[in-house]
Amino acid sequence: MNKLYTIFETSLMLHISESTLYRWIHQKKIKHVKIGSRVLFSSDNLKDFINKNTINAE
């Protein structure tokens, strides 16, 4: 099963502030899971997000 990460854990992993992460959620820039009032992020979605935002050197 996919591990789910909290806002706090995800912001630490991506080296961004929690407010930036909340803004990305609101703008639908990052996939997330909502369970009740909790917002969580699956490890697979985070890997996809990082891969899609990786710029390769030429």
- Could you read off the pLDDT of 10-34 as tens digits, one per residue? 999 999 999 999 999 999 999 999 9
Query: Does the pLDDT of residue 8 top 90, yes or no?
Result: yes
Domain ranges within the chain, ordered by starting residue: 4-52
Q: What is the pLDDT of residues 31-44, one digit of tens each?
A: 999 999 999 999 99
In contact, 14 and 55? CB cutoff 8 Å? no
Mean pLDDT (whole number) for 36-56: 96
What's the pLDDT band for 57 if we cut at 50, 70, 90?
A: confident
Name the CATH architecture for the domain at 4-52. Answer: Alpha-Beta Complex (3.90)
Q: Cα(7)–Cα(38) distance, rounded to whole angstroms? A: 9
